[in-house]
Amino acid sequence: MDYRNPDQIEHTVESLIKQRVMGLALGYEDLNNHDGLRQDPDPLLALLSDVADPMG
pLDDT per residue as tens, the chain (56 positions): 778 888 888 778 888 888 788 878 877 777 676 666 666 666 676 677 666 666 65
Q: Distance from first CA to last CA of the chain, Å, rounded?
A: 32
Q: Return d(Cα 39, Cα 19) in angstroms, integer.
A: 13
Q: How far is CA 20 from the centre of its chain?
A: 7
Query: What is the structure's pLDDT at 40?
Result: 62
How many CA atoms within 13 Å lie on the side-chain side of 5?
Answer: 2
| DSSP code, position 4 | S
Domain residue spans of the chain? 12-48
What amino acid is encoded at 49 in this protein?
A: S
Query: What is the structure's pLDDT at 41?
Result: 61
Q: Return d(Cα 38, Cα 31) in angstroms, integer.
A: 12
